[in-house]
């Protein structure tokens, strides 16, 4: 498991999303490793966040495959740092989310080189801001998606080594409500209560939830007003939507617009902000066919799952690329100081990925 030395090297570099220098340092290490495999790197420079890195192989006529990962973690300097291990587990920031997954992809590509197999039509994209929502990189990812037919994403595997066939879409929104202040004792009827308006909107928003269809609307924060003796002149709602179907997204967005523009309390007005952060990664016949191809190539029964959380897989899938996620090692405790990854799962994932990449680079498709 010599690749664990490589993982240790990048785990010991703090790459908190807002630590641009650290994220870029990890990127330079991958430049070194992937250049040794014949990859060319295109660095997408950014001023305030780490650079996004697109690694390209030799291209021939045929399908193209993108391996997708991110370089950043959620841990600021001096919080949770450094690599450690015991007989069964590896510990450290990013061991499963997702420096460990990036190393799985790297080691599978190295296995092709060791076997004397030329790497064709298999590229990589490592972005630097996934943990903060990919607000910058999602535009790059969507643009690059136009050049690819398939995408494997190396976020952590499920507890039973499942790959991810679907992820909910997510959007974060605000509603800013304006009312009119008035003295609650002397001029109560002169005011327009923004807080009361927010209460009506909150109930209407939450009522859009449809658990049977996997749609949720959560009002996570609400505040407003000045004090107990003043009719509230303003209120603010922060809420999130998650959905498993495009049709549900459209239904909810149409209703949210209507709720925002309806004044339930006379004299109040409201303004909607925010938007869809990552669109749904929806299970489809194409996904089903891709899973069947993998099972045939690897001669296994592939365990799959749908997740409520999002990743950059959402972006590629929503752009029309046939996408599967969860090709990294199994781990847990991600986004906490207890993050760990199972050693045995690294070998399983590297072996599976190697088989798939060997087949793809030989046939330039998963159908062959």
Radius of gyration of the chain (CA): 24
Q: What is the DSSP string of 62-94?
A: S--EEEEEE--BS--TTTS---EE-SSEEESTT
Cα dihedral value 279, 284, 286, 290, nearest 10: 90
Judge residue 47's burial from the number of C-beta atoms within 10 Å of its C-beta, 0-12 exposed, 13-18 middle, 19 or more buried.
exposed
Burial class (CB in 10 A: 0-12, 13-18, 19+), 188: exposed
- All domains of the chain, ordered by start, with CATH? 3-168+281-363 (3.40.630.10), 169-278 (3.30.70.360)
End-to-end CA distance of the chain: 31
Give CA–CA dist 19/72, Å, rounded. 9
3-state SS, residue 25? helix
Instruction: Give which of 139, 143, 115 is closest to 129, Cα–Cα.
Output: 139
Listed in sequence order, the DSSP H helices in the chain are: 3-11, 20-35, 99-114, 137-145, 194-206, 246-261, 285-298, 313-318, 343-363
Measured CA to CA, the distance from residue 12 to residue 9 in angstroms comes to 6
**Hey, what's the torsion of the CAs at 139, 141, 142, 145, to 10 degrees?**
160
Crossing angle of the two packed helices 3-11 and 20-35, in degrees rounded to 10: 160
Q: Count helices and strands (H / E) in the chain.
A: 9, 18
- 3-state SS, residue 203: helix
Q: Map tokens 């209507």 to a residue.
A: 258
Alpha carbon distance 82, 15 (integer Å): 11
Kindly report the number of other CB atoms within 10 A of residue 261's CB atom.
Answer: 11
pLDDT one digit per residue (tens) for the chain, 368 residues: 689 999 999 999 999 999 999 999 999 999 999 999 999 999 999 999 999 999 999 999 999 999 999 999 999 999 999 999 999 999 999 999 999 999 999 999 999 999 999 999 999 999 999 999 999 999 999 999 999 999 999 999 999 999 999 999 999 999 999 999 999 999 999 999 999 999 999 999 999 999 999 999 999 999 999 999 999 999 999 999 999 999 999 999 999 999 999 999 999 999 999 999 999 999 999 999 999 999 999 999 999 999 999 999 999 999 999 999 999 999 999 999 999 999 999 999 999 999 999 999 999 999 97
The span from the CA of 247 to the CA of 257, in Å, is 16
Helix (H, G, I), strand (E, B) or coil at 110: helix
Dihedral sign from CA coordinates of 341, 342, 344, 348: negative
| Of residues 86, 100, 79, the one with CA closest to residue 11 | 100
pLDDT at 1: 60
Residue 49 is predicted with a pLDDT of: 98
- pTM score, whole prediction: 0.92
Contacts by residues 337-340 (CB-CB < 8 Å, ≥ 24 positions apart):
337/75, 337/79, 337/80, 338/91, 339/80, 339/91, 339/92, 339/93, 339/94, 339/95, 339/96, 339/97, 340/89, 340/90, 340/91, 340/95, 340/96
Q: How far apart are CA 120 and CA 135, in angstroms?
A: 30
């Amino acid at each position: 498991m010599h690749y664990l030395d490589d993982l240790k090297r990048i785990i010991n570099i703090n790459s908190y999303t807002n630590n641009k220098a650290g994220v870029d340092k990890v990127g330079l290490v991958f430049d070194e490793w992937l250049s040794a495999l014949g990859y060319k790197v295109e660095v997408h420079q950014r001023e305030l966040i780490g650079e996004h890195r697109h690694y390209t192989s030799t291209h021939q006529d045929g399908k193209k495959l993108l391996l997708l990962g991110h370089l950043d973690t959620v841990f600021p300097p001096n919080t949770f740092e450094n690599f450690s291990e015991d007989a069964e587990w590896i510990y450290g920031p990013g061991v499963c989310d997702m420096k460990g997954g990036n190393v799985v992809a790297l080691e599978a590509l190295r296995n092709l080189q060791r076997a004397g197999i030329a790497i064709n039509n298999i590229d990589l994209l490592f972005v630097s801001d996934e943990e903060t929502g990919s607000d910058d990189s999602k535009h790059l990812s969507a643009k690059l998606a136009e050049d690819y037919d398939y995408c494997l994403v190396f976020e952590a595997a499920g507890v039973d080594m499942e790959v991810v066939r679907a992820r909910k879409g997510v959007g974060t929104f605000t509603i800013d409500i304006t009312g009119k202040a008035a003295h609650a004792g002397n001029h109560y009827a002169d005011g327009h209560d923004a807080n009361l308006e927010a209460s009506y909107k909150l109930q209407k928003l939450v009522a859009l939830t449809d658990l049977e269809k996997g749609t949720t609307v959560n009002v996570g924060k609400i505040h407003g007003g000045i004090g107990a003796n003043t009719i509230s002149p303003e209120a603010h709602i922060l809420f999130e939507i998650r959905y498993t179907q495009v049709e549900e997204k459209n239904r909810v967005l149409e209703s949210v617009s209507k709720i925002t523009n309806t004044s339930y309390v006379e004299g109040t007005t409201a303004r909607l902000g925010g938007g869809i952060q990552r669109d749904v990664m929806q299970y489809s016949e194409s996904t089903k066919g891709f899973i069947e191809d993998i099972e045939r190539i690897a001669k296994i029964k592939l365990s799959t799952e749908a997740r409520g959380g999002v990743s950059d897989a959402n972006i590629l899938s929503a752009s029309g690329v046939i996408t599967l996620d969860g090709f990294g090692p199994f781990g847990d405790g991600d986004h906490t100081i207890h993050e760990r990854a199972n050693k045995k799962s690294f070998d399983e994932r590297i072996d599976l990925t190697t088989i798939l990449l060997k087949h793809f680079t030989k046939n330039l498709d998963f159908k062959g």
